[in-house]
Amino acid sequence: MVDVHRSIDGFRSTLDSLRREGATVGFVPTMGYLHEGHASLMRAARRDCDVAVASIFVNPLQFAASEDLSTYPRDIDRDLDVCSGAGISHVLHPSVEEMYPGGPVLTSVSVSKITERFEGASRPTHFSGVATVVAKLFSIVGPCRSYFGEKDFQQLAVVRRMARDLSMPVEVIGCPIVREPDGLAMSSRNVYLDAAQRDAAPVLYRSLQRAASLASTGVLTSSDAPSVNEVESVVADAIAAVPEAELDYVALVDALTLEPAHAVGGSQRLLVAARFGSTRLLDNIAVG
């Protein structure tokens, strides 16, 4: 049975009481319309901690005026079923007015440098909105371990850096991407894909796998040390060959700093974003 809290004060008071009794807290922030990827984070929180909790809040601050806030999918009854099945005990499900009382938000949190490229370049206000709401949620929840999926790899890096820079009593845990049987990374936005786009979308993961193979073995080139451009081109060329897809970016980056790689080697991540019609999908893979 999941206890649903609409009040910030009530949710915070409940978690403070649990910690006074000696419990550790695992926290999963979400925007709802939950799928198996979210459930995997919740199960990890329940496995690692005495109490697993979550938030369900569609955060308006991370949507630009041209983006899909009003049509973002919502199904709170189904979401609560997912939470219950994954071992969540308490859910914060506040209104916008509860989260941001008093009208427009005058305080924001921004993380520089690692937000300037990739998603930050495509969606200039996005990461400030993410950092602000996550900082607020961390303040509400208090000391905890918080679980994020690696699909939004740049977001994970932003949250980790914010928590470290601001000395928040939160350990940020990254969890593996959960995929459909054909390799498509699970995402709440997959529901927007039509049949042809859905059939085409697994090209992201297939191309990432092939590029990662090239990066680790050089099997697709005569050189034992493929260049960054060769690795990125494997993804770009594969997406260019799919009529339903339009590449936004592909980049091989340092897995910690997200700085673009100058050579292949070490702990790296290959990031990709592409549009399928009006739906923009992200994916990534570890390299090295």
Residues 204 and 278 placed together within one structural domain of the fold: yes
Q: Could you tell me the CATH number of the domain that includes residue 195?
A: 3.30.1300.10
The verdict on 193 and 268 lying in the same domain is yes
- Domain, as residue range, for 252: 188-283
Residue 63 lies in a domain: yes
pLDDT of residue 225: 75
Res 238 pLDDT > 70: yes
Question: Tens digits of per-residue pLDDT, 52-71?
Answer: 999 999 999 998 877 778 88
Look at residues 175, 209, 243 and tell me which one is the last residue of a structural domain.
Answer: 175
Q: Are 260 and 117 in contact (CB under 8 A)?
A: yes
In this predicted structure, what is the pLDDT of residue 151? 98
Point out the domain boundary residue: 145, 175, 205.
175
The tens digit of pLDDT for each residue in 166-178 reads 999 999 999 999 9
Q: So what's the pLDDT on residue 273?
A: 98
* Arithmetic mean of pLDDT, 86-100: 97
pLDDT confidence of residue 218: 65
For residue 75, pLDDT beyond 60: yes
Q: Domain check: are 107 and 235 in the same one?
A: no
Average of per-residue pLDDT across 153-165: 98
Residue 182 lies in a domain: no
pLDDT of residue 224: 67
C-beta atoms surrounding 272 within 10 Å: 26
Output the domain CATH number for residue 22: 3.40.50.620
Residue 132 shares a structural domain with residue 224 = no
151 shares its domain with 205 = no
Residues recognised as catalytic: 38
User: What integer pLDDT is reported at residue 100 of this predicted model?
Assistant: 96
Q: Which pLDDT band, with edges at 50, 70 and 90, does 36 fall under?
A: very high
The verdict on 164 and 255 lying in the same domain is no
Tell me what pLDDT residue 104 has.
Answer: 87
Q: What is the pLDDT of residue 115?
A: 96
Residues 201 and 164 in one domain: no
The answer as to whether 265 is a domain residue is yes
Report the first-to-last Cα separation within the chain, whole angstroms: 43
In the predicted model, what is the mean pLDDT of the chain? Answer: 95
CB 126 within 8 A of CB 120: yes
Q: Which two tokens stand for residue 126?
A: 């996005």
What pLDDT is recorded for position 158?
A: 98
Residues 119 and 212 in one domain: no
183: in domain: no
Sequential DSSP letters for 96-113 = HHHHSTTSS--------S
Domain membership of residue 90 (yes or no) is: yes
Task: Identify which of 84, 79, 82, 27 has the alpha carbon closest to the alpha carbon of residue 51.
Answer: 27
pLDDT over threshold 90, residue 1: no
Residues 118 and 63 in one domain: yes
pLDDT digits (tens, 9 = 90+) for 170-228: 999 999 999 999 999 999 999 999 999 999 999 999 999 999 999 988 654 555 679 99
Residue 167 maps to a domain? yes
Cα 158 to Cα 70, 112, 152, 206, 257: the distances in Å are 25, 9, 10, 27, 10
For residue 255, give the 3-state DSSP assignment.
coil
Domain count, the chain: 2
Q: What is the pLDDT of residues 128-149, one digit of tens each?
A: 999 999 999 999 999 999 999 9
- What are the counts of helices (DSSP H) followed by strands (DSSP E) for the chain? 10, 9
Judge if 168 and 275 occupy the same domain: no
Percent of the chain whose predicted confidence (pLDDT) is above 90 = 91
Give yes or no: residues 48 and 161 share one domain: yes
**Together in a domain, 193 and 119:** no
Last residue within a domain, chosen from 140, 175, 210: 175
